[in-house]
Amino acid sequence: MSSPNINQQHQQTNDFFATLLPQHQIDVIVQQWLHDDMPSLDVGGLVVGDVPREATLWMKSPGVLAGKPFFETVFRILGCSVTWHPSAAEGVYLSASPEQKLALATVSGPIHKLLQGERTALNTLSRCSGVATLSQQAVTAARDAHWKGWVAGTRKTTPGFRIVEKYGLLVGGAATHRIDLSQMVMLKDNHIQSAGSIRSAIQMARQAAGFSQKIEVECSQLAEAMEAAQAGADIVMLDNLEPQVLKVTARMLKKEYPHVLIEASGGITTETMKDYLCDDVDIVSQGKLTQGYDCIDYSLKVLPPKTKEQSLKQAASS
């Protein structure tokens, strides 16, 4: 096995992944989300007014909490503040349910702004948490099988929502695979057919990619995999092979080219992944991690207005 043992410390919280995010770009993306949700007048906002209020973020189904930076950005842009409770650590699995809801944060600001951000913030948090939850399940299944390679997502992400889903993979302990078309070179069947051969496609790609980018080639049989490795591919994806065929192909390829990383892909799920795991496979990728996740249920409930006595008590204690 040539790939490292990832995620050895994943039991720790993953709030530090927020430092990866380009905040200036996140602000632009969130502004677009808010504009999409409120392109014109907000009559409901007129009804509630602009008095300061507080709201509680509740988690109502079990899963991995993920997406705090996006949730915070929605409300910061709207002029509100978010205070997370100590239990609300990014990357931690929480056993919530409709009967046993967990309070995770308090959001403060003008009530019309709280309601303007509510659905956008919750949609983002629930989906990011869904990706992280499914990713954590997949990684746990791989570790339980004593396999130490990379469990990865794919580029099958939602347009306009890529960075959230890729971030959710990381928080859940999975690898992102290539972030976009500009990161790493992947030559698939259409590239190879258009270039004329695997060798020609790799040679042309290498001229542009130079030494700084890896080249991965999608192969569906041993002969293609051998040609790709011999021509200089860094990674060979064995795509849509039956598990036993894949294991034999991976073993023969690794024997001849031990430096080449081997990826198993094509319709693999967390349930079937164990059938593909072996010492000769370095990466198992699952499109389902960003295509087939269940959303985690959250809600935001505005608290009743404080009485004068409660306000004075809070002011005295602060």
Distance from the first to the final alpha carbon of the chain? 56
> Is-contact 89 59, C-beta < 8 A?
no
- Rg of the chain, C-alpha, whole Å: 23
**Sheet of strand 102-110: strand arrangement:** 81-84, 102-110, 52-59, 298-302
Per DSSP, the three-state class of 155 is: coil
- Cβ contacts of 230 within 8 Å, gap of 6 or more: 257
Residue 188 is a catalytic residue = no
Alpha-carbon torsion angle 165, 87, 59, 289, nearest 10 = 20
Q: Say which of 60, 101, 148, 156 is annotated catalytic.
A: 156
Alpha helices in the chain (DSSP H): 23-37, 43-48, 68-77, 111-144, 162-171, 189-195, 198-209, 222-231, 243-256, 288-291, 308-317
DSSP bridge partners of 151: 284
Residues annotated as catalytic (active site), given as ranges: 156
